[in-house]
């Protein structure tokens, strides 16, 4: 029986070096998020470990390679393996990126930006429909971190995401770090962007740290998930959770991964900034 996920839960990413501690008692975090592509072919001891973790923690499966933002339909083999993983683990949440990474049979090790046009909107909506039908459940779509503005864009990103929600019934994974990075790099009004999103569709928050590329002027913020959450982002998170308390939060840390004890310090910082008791409040837009 899959474990339920509390609406004010705070979790971390699953890293192999922390598995033993995570399986020991007491349970130090509310849920774990795993990158789908790391486990879609897993069997034997790895699959047994996943099953053991699923008995102790609600899980979130986060995909990075479905290429929902591409012109091509989702790769059938990739989607079948993802569907098998999700069916086996019964995670509380399943998410993917608004990005593309596959073209003409070639896969790119990156999350490439999606053109914000009517044509692209129709293709992404089609791909989300295909994925959700195969999975038999709602996908959360993550907003991207951006470094350049595409000249071909004719739609605002928030409007694009809102229309995807309206057309497909998908949810949103609101990565506040990505939103801040894109606002900084593109000169976007962050408050206006957040206000334009359909916040009632948000099913998960992501928080992470970033680095600065000072080789360019002005410096770019880089979404490297390799440092603590920025203080300005904590302030934004506190404001968002006051308006949206019933949304689980994931603290990402994928490069220069710290000790579990250090990562849990970030979890406690998130808990301290959430309204209490969050699960008894009513969500409303910011």
Whichever domain contains 95, its CATH number is 3.20.20.150
Tokens for 196, please give them.
């334009």
Kindly indicate the confidence band of residue 286, based on its pLDDT and cuts at 50, 70 and 90. Answer: very low
Does residue 154 form part of some domain? yes
Dist. CA 244–CA 241, nearest whole Å = 5
Does residue 64 form part of some domain? yes
Nearest to 186 by CA among 134, 146, 231: 146
Kindly indicate the confidence band of residue 277, based on its pLDDT and cuts at 50, 70 and 90. Answer: low
- The predicted structure's pLDDT at residue 8: 94
Dist. CA 32–CA 37, nearest whole Å = 15
Kindly indicate the confidence band of residue 215, based on its pLDDT and cuts at 50, 70 and 90. Answer: very high
Q: What is the mean pLDDT of residues 139-163?
A: 96
Does residue 1 form part of some domain? no
Max Cα–Cα distance, the chain, nearest Å: 53
Q: What is the mean pLDDT of residues 38-63?
A: 90
Total domains, the chain: 1
Domain extent for 95? 10-280
Does residue 145 form part of some domain? yes
The answer to whether the beta carbons of residues 59 and 89 sit under 8 Å apart is yes
Q: What percentage of the chain reaches a pLDDT higher than 90?
A: 83
Residue 200 has pLDDT above 90, yes or no: yes
- The predicted structure's pLDDT at residue 1: 66
- The predicted structure's pLDDT at residue 258: 97
Does residue 82 form part of some domain? yes
Does residue 119 form part of some domain? yes
Nearest to 206 by CA among 248, 175, 170, 238: 175
Tokens for 226, please give them.
């390799």
Half-sphere exposure of residue 95, counting CA atoms within 13 Å on the CB side? 27
The answer to whether the beta carbons of residues 245 and 274 sit under 8 Å apart is yes
Q: What is the pTM of this model?
A: 0.93
- The predicted structure's pLDDT at residue 281: 40
- The predicted structure's pLDDT at residue 74: 94
Per the listing, tokens 């044509």 go with: 119
- The predicted structure's pLDDT at residue 26: 87
Residue 100 has pLDDT above 90, yes or no: no
Does residue 97 form part of some domain? yes
Nearest to 68 by CA among 14, 133, 131, 149: 131
Tokens for 164, please give them.
């995807």
- Tens-digit pLDDT profile for residues 23-49: 997 899 999 999 999 998 767 888 899
Half-sphere exposure of residue 96, counting CA atoms within 13 Å on the CB side? 27
Does residue 21 form part of some domain? yes
Q: What is the mean pLDDT of residues 230-253?
A: 97
């Amino acid at each position: 029986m899959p474990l339920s996920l509390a609406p004010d839960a705070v979790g971390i990413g699953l890293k192999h070096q922390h598995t033993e501690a995570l399986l020991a008692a007491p349970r130090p975090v509310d849920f774990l998020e795993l990158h789908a592509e790391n486990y879609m072919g897993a069997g034997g001891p790895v699959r047994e470990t996943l099953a053991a973790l699923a008995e102790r923690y609600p899980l979130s499966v986060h995909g990075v390679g479905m290429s929902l933002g591409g012109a091509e339909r989702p790769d059938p083999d990739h989607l079948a393996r993802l569907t098998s993983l999700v069916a086996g683990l019964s995670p509380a949440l399943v998410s993917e990126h608004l990005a593309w990474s596959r073209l003409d049979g070639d896969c790119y090790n990156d999350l490439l930006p999606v053109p914000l046009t009517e044509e692209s909107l129709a293709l992404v909506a089609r791909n989300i429909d295909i994925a959700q039908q195969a999975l038999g459940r709602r996908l959360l779509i993550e907003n991207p971190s951006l470094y350049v503005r595409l000249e071909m864009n004719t739609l605002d990103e928030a409007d694009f995401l809102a229309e995807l929600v309206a057309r497909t019934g998908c949810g949103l994974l609101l990565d506040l770090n990505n939103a801040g990075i894109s606002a900084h790099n593109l000169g976007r009004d962050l408050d206006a962007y957040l206000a334009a999103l359909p916040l009632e569709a948000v099913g998960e928050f992501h928080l992470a740290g970033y680095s600065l590329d000072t080789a360019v002027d002005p410096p770019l913020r880089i979404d490297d998930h390799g440092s603590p959450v920025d203080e300005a982002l904590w302030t934004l998170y506190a404001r968002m959770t006051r308006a949206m308390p019933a949304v689980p939060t994931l603290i990402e840390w994928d490069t220069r991964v710290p000790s579990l004890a250090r990562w849990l310090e970030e979890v406690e910082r998130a808990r301290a900034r959430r309204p209490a008791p969050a699960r008894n409040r009513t969500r409303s837009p910011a």
